Amino acid sequence: MLAAAELTKSFGGFQALAGCSLEIAPQTITGIIGPNGAGKSTLFNVLGGLLAPESGDVLFEGRSILGLRADERARIGLVRTFQISRELGELTVLENMLLASRQQDGEAVWRTFFTPAHVRAQERAAIAKARALLEQVALWSHANEPAKNLSGGQKKLLEISRALMLEPKIILLDEPTSGVSPAMTEALGKAILQLRDRGVTFAIIEHDMDVIARLCAPIYVLAGGRTLIRGSFREVASNEEVMKAYLGKAA
């Protein structure tokens, strides 16, 4: 579904990506791990369209998407979240969801005046969709609260739910459990597995190895801006090159 092909990206004298390649198959939860500075977040920024690579290509369903902006990639089904949740805190949880709705003809003033019934029907459909998604993650009871009042884990669930309003084919999750309580980590993992079973593809950057072991297959290990190894958790955990990348010495 999504592939990085020999991506390179530098910042000054630091090469964040140095020929990084990987492939993400449909309806999988692909884990991406590596030590700090390995290039993981830079890779997501390039895949998501926030950064342009110096060389290499990004392929979505077999075609290059390098020329597409982040919002254009979202419209074709490639959506990402961030390590720090980016909810609009002063808006309610429901309003945050509705902002991501794909069909919003009411934004055009003339449609609001000349086709009010259509606009109202569209808004009702968006609210129903948002409610169904929020109910799946036990957030509907907070629908009318300001999003800033949610806990860290609830904000992560809101961000994933908001991404689902776009009907994505793949979601890139950047450290979804960072700063999240164990109970909410469990809830996040359960939600991700359920969504995978319904056809959504995920790629996850994560430092919590318990989460990686429980959710992800396959797993890519990045080091020095390159893909070091791809394999199962057992294969990755027992690999001497991986141990060297993390600990600076062989196992």
Write down which residue in 120, 149, 178 finishes a domain: 149
Containing domain of residue 125, as a range? 89-149
197-230 tens-digit pLDDT:
989 999 999 888 899 999 999 999 999 899 989 9
- Indicate if 101 and 44 belong to the same structural domain: no
For position 136, what pLDDT does the model report? 80
- Indicate if 204 and 127 belong to the same structural domain: no
Residue 48: which pLDDT band, with cuts at 50, 70 and 90? very high
Is pLDDT at 67 greater than 70 in this prediction?
yes
| Distance from chain centroid for Cα 36 | 19
143-198 tens-digit pLDDT:
999 999 998 888 888 888 888 888 889 999 988 888 778 888 888 888 889 889 98
Rounded to whole angstroms, the Cα distance separating 10 from 157 reads 33
Between CA 121 and CA 127, with CA 125 as vertex, the angle to 5 degrees is 115
For position 47, what pLDDT does the model report? 96
- Indicate if 164 and 60 belong to the same structural domain: yes
Give how far Cα 144 sits from Cα of 99, 131, 170, 187, Å: 14, 11, 28, 21
Residue 237: which pLDDT band, with cuts at 50, 70 and 90? confident
- Indicate if 98 and 63 belong to the same structural domain: no
- Indicate if 212 and 174 belong to the same structural domain: yes
- Indicate if 79 and 167 belong to the same structural domain: yes
Rounded to whole angstroms, the Cα distance separating 243 from 250 reads 6
- Indicate if 9 and 112 belong to the same structural domain: no
For position 8, what pLDDT does the model report? 97
The position carrying tokens 């919002």 is 71
Quote the number of domains for the chain.
2
- Indicate if 213 and 101 belong to the same structural domain: no
CATH number at residue 60: 3.40.50.300
Residue 250: which pLDDT band, with cuts at 50, 70 and 90? very low
- Indicate if 124 and 195 belong to the same structural domain: no
Tokens standing for residue 72: 């254009």
DSSP label at residue 165: T
| Rounded mean pLDDT, 63-86 | 87
85-125 tens-digit pLDDT:
677 778 999 998 888 776 665 555 445 554 666 567 778 88
For position 154, what pLDDT does the model report? 87
Rounded to whole angstroms, the Cα distance separating 30 from 124 reads 35
Residue 248: which pLDDT band, with cuts at 50, 70 and 90? low
| Rounded mean pLDDT, 129-154 | 88
Is pLDDT at 251 greater than 50 in this prediction?
no
10 Å Cβ neighbour count for 213?
A: 16
Amino acid occupying residue 13: G
DSSP labels, 49-77 = TSS--SEEEEEETTEE-TT--HHHHHHHT
Write down which residue in 130, 149, 168 finishes a domain: 149
Q: In terms of Cα–Cα distance, which of 6, 38, 46 is closest to 22?
A: 6
Angle, helices 116-136 vs 152-164, to 10°: value is 130
DSSP label at residue 225: T
For position 110, what pLDDT does the model report? 46
| Rounded mean pLDDT, 220-242 | 89
Write down which residue in 98, 119, 149 finishes a domain: 149
- Indicate if 55 and 162 belong to the same structural domain: yes
- Indicate if 70 and 181 belong to the same structural domain: yes
- Indicate if 32 and 67 belong to the same structural domain: yes
Burial class (CB in 10 A: 0-12, 13-18, 19+), 105: middle
